Structure 1
Amino acid sequence: MNVLVTGGAGFIGSHITEGLLETGHNVITLDVLDPYYDLGIKERNIEICRETGGDRFEFVEGSITDEELVRDIISSNDIEFVYHQAAQAGVRTSVENPKKPHEINTTGLLNLLVAADDHGIKRFVNASSSSVYGEVEYLPYDEDHQNVPQSPYGVTKLTAEHYCRVWNDVYDVPTVSLRYFTVYGPRMRPNMAITNFTSRCLNAKPPVIYGDGQQTRDFTYIDDIVDANLSLLETDAADGEVMNVGSTGNITIEELAEHIIDETGTDVGIEYTAAKEADARHTHADVTKARELIDYEPSTSIREGVLKFVDWYRENRDWYEPLVLAS
């Protein structure tokens, strides 16, 4: 099958691309290579995919906001399946600059959907986010929970879901939106909590927690995310649906820091500083719907995942570790 992965040089997109290549598909990745974080990591992602897929892999540098480029890639390569992972990420950065995530996450998505309709693709999988929920009414979140996003980023992700639903219902483009819950693992963005905590501990510095540390997160290991996405190659049971893709539970940020201190074997404490604006207080996914529709079964607990990540970090520290650690 010919597959387009947008944002394919990023963390999640590159892992999905690897999974597709390992199962014999032809993959084109489109990525703008925005220096939102170290481009060396994205370049390494591209090289790993190239080594995995050989001539079945092609990288195109460009933006999903380029309507002509998007149309040309989908039509000239006979794309059958789109995994849309490209986005301007970051809850906090979206508060500082709301126009950029709107342009990329909304206008860029529309460019892809229009091109997908014109070419008659088999399925369009949209990467959504737990940020669409916002205010907690109850936990764990199921898909019927109210959506009151607390950041421009969350608004763009909810808007994208509605566009996908309309394209499924009105334009007959089969779409699925997967709501990711704080994905982590090898090659993850270096500005995420698990990377920051690990980096600081391995450099004999205490993890820094924003707020009181009692906020909770549903951290989802990257292998589970890839499994959920690849399962959509083989079923149409989820067309038109929105589904949570989370883990086996949630954990406080303070407990997370303690786990990482334990796994790194360092003798450091924990520092606390002021909470960040727009951060959700709690997240926790009910994955019943995904389990019923696509046989999704998260397999990696947070403690297992942290151990895997710390081991990977140690092995790849020479190229992955941030050049400048927070003071």
Structure 2
Amino acid sequence: MFDGARVLVAGSTGLIGVNLIQRLLREGANVRATLYRNPALIQDDRIDYRTVDLTSAEDCRRVVEGVDYVFMCAANTSGAAVMQNSPLSHVTPNVLMNTQLMQAAYDAKVRKYCFISSSAAYPPSDDRPVREDEMFAGDPYDVYFPVGWMKRYVEVLCRMYAEKIRPPMPTVVIRPSNIYGPFDKFDPKTSHVTAALVRRVATGENPMSIWGTGRDVRDLIYVDDFIDGMLTVFRAVETHDAVNIASGVGVTVRQVLEELIDIDGLGDVRVDYDTTKPQMIPIRLIDTAYAEERYGFRAKTSLRDGLSRTLDWYRRHGRTHPR
């Protein structure tokens, strides 16, 4: 599908974007990639980098001109502290970027469009993995309310372009669990929990203070598996679909940290859990049955293998990584 195709990756320096570009290049795609504040992370003559502001309609029109497929991986994201203290930082710029780029893609007659949504947009489901058809069954958790409804709004736009107007533009919505791996955000100001733990173990931090109880449960998917799942779905969808892409296994923060310490061979590490710091919801899991039954996708990388690869990558590249 991608051999010789012209593919735009919006958000080329993020975890998804940079790993997606590497995969597309291996599949023979002609990649155009957007930059904003951060420099390019992959130096390759086959990549056509464009520095743009995706909140600008004119920039969006220029960057989608002549492309076949669009992967919208650009987003204003951050960790729990920023989400709690500045919730609108996840709303206003993201709504602008997504509405402008999708309209530009439609006007440019893009053949198919992919939007990366979020499992944070789902309503509470207690300790049960939530299914795709439950997205609008209730409000998101309060802590995710702003970013959750932003993602939902863009999901509705995707369905509208694919099903409610003529001619349609096929759209794919991917709802990931917690992705981790090479090129993640390791900066303590912006990192999510897995990347933060990788950095702290790699640097030999001891004692280690962890926000929360450490008993929060998440589904972690290694980035290579996520890219596999996203492209599998993207190839197959002809009109519109929204699909969970996850490992299907729930793990606690404590389990992740213990696995990392064991892989690293750190020995005795004193870990203090600070329950006064911002915490998210205790359990967030998404159901993977639809992705497996409809598209034949199942994650392959074990937590230990994924963490080991990420730890090794961080040791070799992470300290000079710009984020």
TM-score range, shorter chain: 0.7 to 0.9
| Cα distance in 1 between the residues matched to 2:176 and 2:276 | 23
Give the root-mean-square deviation of aligned CA atoms: 2.1
| Cα distance in 1 between the residues matched to 2:12 and 2:304 | 28
Aligned to 1:189: 185
Change over 3 Å in CA distance of 1:215–1:183 after alignment to 2: same
Aligned to 2:263: 263
| Cα distance in 2 between the residues matched to 1:227 and 1:81 | 17
Equivalent of 1:14, from 18, 34, 49? 18
Deviation string, structure 1 residues 130-174 (Cα, Å, up to 9, x no partner): 101142245111112335223212221121111111111113111
Aligned to 1:83: 71
Q: Secondary structure at the match of 1:316?
A: helix
**Aligned ranges 1:1-327 → 2 under 5 Å:** 1-33=5-37, 39=38, 43=39, 46-48=40-42, 50-51=43-44, 54=45, 56-75=46-65, 78-90=66-78, 92-145=81-134, 146-149=137-140, 150=142, 151=144, 152-171=146-165, 172-190=168-186, 191-201=191-201, 202-237=203-238, 239-266=239-266, 267-274=268-275, 276-277=277-278, 279-320=280-321
Cα drift, residue 82 of structure 1: 0.5
Structure 2 counterpart of 1:106, which letter?
V
| Cα distance in 1 between the residues matched to 2:162 and 2:277 | 37
Structure 2 counterpart of 1:234, which letter?
R
Deviation string, structure 1 residues 73-131 (Cα, Å, up to 9, x no partner): 212xx111000011111354244333332222212111111112212211110001110
| Cα distance in 2 between the residues matched to 1:280 and 1:164 | 27
Identity of aligned residues (%): 27
Runs of at least 5 residues in structure 1 that lack an aligned partner in the other structure: 34-38, 323-327
| Cα distance in 2 between the residues matched to 1:299 and 1:214 | 25
| Cα distance in 2 between the residues matched to 1:5 and 1:275 | 39
Cα drift, residue 215 of structure 1: 1.0
Deviation string, structure 1 residues 43-76 (Cα, Å, up to 9, x no partner): 3xx242x33xx2x31111122111001012212x
Aligned to 1:325: none
Q: TM-score, normalised by structure 1?
A: 0.86
Change over 3 Å in CA distance of 1:173–1:277 after alignment to 2: farther
Change over 3 Å in CA distance of 1:209–1:24 after alignment to 2: same
Q: Secondary structure at the match of 2:34?
A: strand
| Cα distance in 2 between the residues matched to 1:182 and 1:160 | 20
Conserved? CA contact 2:212–2:278, under 8 Å: no
| Cα distance in 1 between the residues matched to 2:47 and 2:22 | 10
| Cα distance in 2 between the residues matched to 1:64 and 1:312 | 30
Structure 1 counterpart of 2:230, which letter?
N
Cα drift, residue 218 of structure 1: 0.3
Give the stretch that moved more between structures: 141-150 or 249-258: 141-150
Change over 3 Å in CA distance of 1:233–1:179 after alignment to 2: closer
Q: TM-score, normalised by structure 2?
A: 0.87
Change over 3 Å in CA distance of 1:321–1:71 after alignment to 2: closer
Change over 3 Å in CA distance of 1:165–1:291 after alignment to 2: same
Change over 3 Å in CA distance of 1:232–1:122 after alignment to 2: farther
Change over 3 Å in CA distance of 1:276–1:79 after alignment to 2: farther
Change over 3 Å in CA distance of 1:182–1:147 after alignment to 2: farther
Structure 2 counterpart of 1:148, which letter?
D
Structure 1 counterpart of 2:47, which letter?
F
Conserved? CA contact 2:209–2:273, under 8 Å: yes
Change over 3 Å in CA distance of 1:318–1:148 after alignment to 2: same
Conserved? CA contact 1:248–1:301, under 8 Å: no
